[in-house]
A and B are shown apart, each in its own frame.
Chain A
Amino acid sequence: MRVVKDEHGRPLQLTRLLGTGGQGEVWAAGDRVAVKVLRVRTRRAAERLRQRLRTVKRLDLDGLAISRPLAMLAEPDVGYTMELLGDMTALRVLAHPPPRTDLVDWYGETGGLRRRLRLLARAADVLAALHARGIVYGDPSPGNMMASSSAEHSQVWLVDADNLEVESVVPDESFTTPGYGAPEVVAGRMGISSLSDAHAFAVIAFELLALVHPFLGDDVQDGAPEDEERAFAGELPWIDDPGDDRNRSSYGLPRRAVLTPGLLALAERTFGAGRSRPAERATVAEWRTKLQTAADLTLTCAHCPQTFIVGAAACPWCGAGTPRQLMGLMHLAVPGEETYTAPRDGLAVPPREWLCVTARTAQLAPDADQDRPVAWLWWEPGSRLAVRNRGREPLWLSRRTGGSPRVVEPGGELTVPVYEEVPEWSVHFGHRSQLHRVLRFRLLGTGRT
């Protein structure tokens, strides 16, 4: 096993290869530390890296899921050590199936659609938080975004922080990974920016969900490796361009099965008009919102382990017919008004399974922790609806047919009978005298609420 030393003479055993990029390799050295080893070992490369790390140290990264650089490596190696969260693997393992594997099985075994949507939403969240501080990541790629190895968890952590920079539009020596660099950066017209980060992130999201690169149509895939450079530079339409079929792909998963209409629209803006006009691209914050919404709209198939977007007539993975699907629609209740506003968010409500409602969908004001559970719901079709209050404020359940609302205090639980197909109860995340969110139920395909 290879051993390197950091500048303080501490030996580091490189235990597990986490990812590789054009610049070098990132290794885990035990559970808490990762090491980036650059391929170029010149004095100039070392000096440039030292300067970059000095810049990164001055940036405010507090509270962000980004590995902070710790120390340079000792000569003759060029590289640095950084923080690592235990047991993580690069997102690339979710984007590139091993050759000759069954794609559908592999997609499910690696966490399926819901986990991919959640991981991507978290990654977008980290990037959006960076951008909000005027910092650009520079080189987002599936090799430097780490996710919890276990398919049950969806933590995301970015490594490779040496490319972080304050926003600039001046072309410089910025480094991007082939396939992820924005066309204007690859062509040397502009430097890295939050918009080039947005391009890279969109590619990662599309690849992880649909298992095909948005710029690599069949002709490019079947051509020589050099042909890819033209495609990466944005010289060809994207593979799903609605009006131009010069670069179609027969690879990957059907887009409608893995992307919601909202996500498809972001992809079209980013890879269509945004290819040559960066300002047209969807921002990472837009991706975050649509990815979160999409994840909330997934249901687990009753016949196979896969998850799919609510509303499908059959599970797109195994073809089994889907039982009637219940949607929770989040409206805004205005004090003194009889009707609610049009729903802003939706949640797929699985039968006989606890569903978490988080601060993000239930609260009006942004919470310090948007993923904080506010309530858990359990729906037993034709039998009951249970509500556990895990928030800090009381909840109210009201019945469409009237009667006084019933309160659920923080920490409490209430079960109400549901004899009809659709629960006629509404869950109010606030008192009726205040502006608040209210969750109502609707059975898909029936038009009944």
Chain B
Amino acid sequence: MPDPLMARPSAPPPRPLPVLVLADVSGSMAEAGKIDVLNRSVATMIRSFADEDTVRGEITVGVVTFGGGGAALHQPPAPAAEVVWEDMLPRGRTPLGEALDLVNGLLADENVISRRAFTPTLVLVSDGLPNDDWRDALERLLASPRGGKAVRLAVGVGQDMDEEAFDVLRAFIDDPVIQPVRADEAHLLSRYFSWVTMSVTARARSDRPNDTSHMSFDELEDLLG
């Protein structure tokens, strides 16, 4: 019998450092291997996060898809080490607005994203124009305390991304310092996710995970260049 003093001692749990991926799974993502690269990239990112031995933050990952069946919580936010990844299947249209509302709901729910959490990172991946009312949903997200503060990143994948589609990504990022990234070829998507992995990991390792001012975009240019 251990000393009653020693009854179930526990260390303070690390604070979550949430990453939420908003993944376009419309029918067009099936073309040119885009969805396959996206599945592989996200799975690789989750594995890297799971291997990370961080000090103050524990990286959690969630994935919201938007496609034929509307927006869905494909992977509920969970510590990376606990995620068993299942591939996303593409079909149907591009209901971005629904996805934004779903993400907004997740961010607002303290049972999903604890108040202990560090500033979340949102990564939007899309291959074309949305076809629902995304503007109002985006406004709601940006006006919310957590959605507004979140680090928002976006990448446009494939040949169908025109300026209008990139404008949607710019509106989502809503920060002139951060530009949406162009991944004309599907394989560039995996490089993009390596960069996301690297920059989130650097934050989790640092003593100030909420300080996002040092994000390095030069390295991103090197990777995609």
Contacts and interface: CB of A to CB of B under 8 A. Distances in A.
Contacts of A211: 9, 11
B206 A22 contact: yes
- Please give me the 5 A-B residue pairs with the lowest Cβ-Cβ distance, nearest first: A254-B5, A319-B2, A319-B1, A20-B205, A22-B207
B2 A254 contact: no
A96 B39 CA distance: 33
Given A225-B116, A225-B118, A257 B11 contact: no
B140 interface: no
B162 to A, nearest CB: 35
Contacts of A315: 3
Given A92-B55, A99-B13, A178-B207, A317 B116 contact: no
Where chain A touches its partner, the secondary structure class is: loop
Interface of A: 17, 20-22, 25, 39-40, 92, 96-99, 103-104, 141, 143, 177-179, 211-213, 216, 221-226, 249-254, 256-257, 312, 314-319
Contacts of B58: 99
A316 B7 CA distance: 10
A20 B9 contact: no
Contacts of A98: 53
A316 B11 contact: no
Interface stretch (B18-26, B92-100, B208-216): B208-216
Contacts of B205: 17, 20, 25
A251 B14 CA distance: 12
B15 interface: yes
B70 interface: no
A143 B54 CA distance: 12
Contacts of A178: 207-208
Given A20-B55, A39-B214, A40-B214, A223 B116 contact: yes
B11 A97 contact: yes
A249 B9 CA distance: 11
**Which of B3, B58, B205, B208 gathers the greatest number of chain A CB atoms within 10 Å?**
B3
20 contacts: A22-B206, A22-B208, A39-B202, A96-B55, A103-B9, A177-B207, A178-B207, A212-B11, A221-B116, A225-B116, A225-B209, A252-B9, A252-B12, A254-B3, A254-B5, A254-B6, A316-B3, A317-B6, A319-B2, A319-B3
Nearest to B114: A222
Nearest to A25: B205
Nearest to B17: A225
A221 B9 contact: no
A99 B79 contact: yes
B115 interface: yes
B131 interface: no
Nearest to B2: A319
Contacts of A103: 9-11
Interface string B139-168: 000000000000000000000000000000
Contacts of B210: 225-226
A179 B208 CA distance: 10
A96 B205 CA distance: 13
B151 to A, nearest CB: 14
Interface string B182-204: 00000000000000000000100
Contacts of A317: 2-3, 6
Given A40-B214, A222-B115, 9 more contacts: A21-B207, A103-B11, A104-B2, A224-B116, A225-B118, A252-B12, A253-B9, A257-B5, A316-B2
Nearest to B205: A20
Contacts of A222: 115-116
B5 A251 contact: no
Contacts of A314: 3
